[in-house]
């Protein structure tokens, strides 16, 4: 499994990095929407929406909301310096608030765990509050300034590094269970390893932008804030990962899908990203880097 996981990552990582660095914001907006909507489709499985027509209608509604946000922000065009990003910023803030509330849900394992209509409604609401704000945060980061694409790569690399750090640290040193009822394989040692890896990558990315020979993207004195935001993003990514694990426990499945060998479904790969991106985007705005 580890070999398959690594091989899949070696294929996906260069493609993702090239897309982030080379594509313009409108193209990244569209590509991210497709990926997130695929993850949303898998979320419908976890919410036990079995009827294909119902799932299709729900997917179209979310896609229409994305289009509406872009349309309402069209003045100057996405990626233009004058582009109004107000709706993207508001949605990102909503995402941060939602993931704070999700902590309460994680403490109540049995909440919405049955198969009744109200449970599905809560899980569908959670899907919208997870996917739309994360997509908005991604677009906001990429469109912000001349180095937005580098900042987005840094934000995503923080999550990827944290995930890998937690995986290998947990396998090597893991003894203390982090949330045994929600995700038995996650350990405190894995969390610590993920935090160190994620913050290290965040600081490295920030330092690279600070040491640019011309027009540095931030000052070296701002690196502690980059570390703090990366730390917060890693912690929130763990919340996102645990929340998806909770949904999978409710329906008794191991993975959200089978699209990616060794990794499961798209949602299994972006669960941490969904929670981390709004935090990184908001932290970046608050601390001005």
DSSP 218-260: S-GGGHHHHHHHHHHHHHHHHHHHHHHHHHHHHHT-S-S-SSB
Q: Is pLDDT larger for residue 4 or for residue 231?
A: 231
What is the predicted pLDDT for the residue at 4? 65
* Residue 113 DSSP one-character state: -
Question: Does the structure show a pLDDT above 60 at 288?
Answer: yes
In 10 A of CB 115, how many CB atoms? 10
**Is residue 239 within 8 Å of residue 103, measured between CB atoms?**
yes
Nearest to 58 by CA among 40, 75, 73: 40
* Residue 264 DSSP one-character state: B
Q: Is pLDDT larger for residue 73 or for residue 270?
A: 270
Band of residue 216 on the pLDDT scale cut at 50, 70, 90? confident
**Is residue 154 within 8 Å of residue 162, measured between CB atoms?**
no
Instruction: Give dist(CA 22, CA 3) in Å, integer.
Output: 29
CA angle 136–137–138, rounded 5-degree value: 90
Residue 32's Cβ-side half-sphere holds a number of Cα atoms within 13 Å equal to 31
What is the predicted pLDDT for the residue at 81? 42
What is the mean pLDDT of the segment spanning 56-75?
92
pTM greater than the 0.75 cutoff: yes
Cα of first residue to Cα of last residue in the chain, in angstroms, is 39
Question: Does the structure show a pLDDT above 90 at 211?
Answer: no
Residue-wise pLDDT for 91-107, tens only, equals 999 999 999 999 999 99
What is the mean pLDDT of the segment spanning 140-165?
94
DSSP, collapsed to helix, strand or coil, labels residue 25 as helix
Question: Does the structure show a pLDDT above 80 at 129?
Answer: yes
DSSP E strand boundaries for 43-172: none
């Amino acid at each position: 499994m580890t070999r398959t996981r690594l091989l899949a990552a070696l294929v996906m990582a260069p493609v993702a990095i090239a897309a982030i660095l080379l594509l313009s914001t409108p193209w990244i907006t569209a590509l991210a929407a497709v990926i997130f909507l695929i993850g949303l489709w898998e979320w419908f499985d976890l919410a036990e929406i079995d009827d294909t027509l119902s799932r299709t209608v729900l997917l179209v509604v979310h896609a229409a909301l994305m289009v509406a946000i872009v349309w309402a922000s069209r003045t100057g065009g996405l990626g233009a310096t004058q582009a109004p990003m107000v709706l993207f910023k508001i949605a990102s803030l909503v995402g941060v608030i939602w993931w704070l509330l999700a902590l309460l849900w994680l403490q109540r394992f049995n909440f919405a765990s049955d198969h009744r209509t109200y449970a599905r409604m809560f899980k569908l609401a959670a899907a919208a509050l997870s996917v739309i704000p994360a997509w908005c945060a991604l677009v906001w980061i990429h469109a912000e300034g001349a180095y937005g694409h580098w900042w987005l790569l840094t934000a995503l690399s923080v999550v990827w590094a944290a995930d890998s750090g937690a995986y290998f640290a947990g396998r090597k040193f893991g003894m203390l269970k982090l949330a045994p009822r929600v995700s038995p394989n996650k350990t405190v040692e894995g969390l610590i390893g993920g935090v160190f890896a994620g913050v290290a990558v965040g600081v490295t990315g920030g330092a690279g932008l600070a040491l640019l020979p011309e027009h540095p993207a931030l000052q070296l004195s701002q690196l502690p804030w980059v570390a703090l935001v990366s730390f917060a993003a890693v912690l929130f990514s763990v919340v996102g990962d645990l929340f998806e694990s909770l949904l999978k426990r409710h329906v008794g499945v191991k993975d959200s899908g089978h699209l990616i060998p060794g990794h499961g479904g798209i949602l299994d790969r972006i669960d941490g990203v969904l929670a981390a991106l709004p935090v990184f985007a908001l932290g970046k705005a608050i601390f001005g880097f």
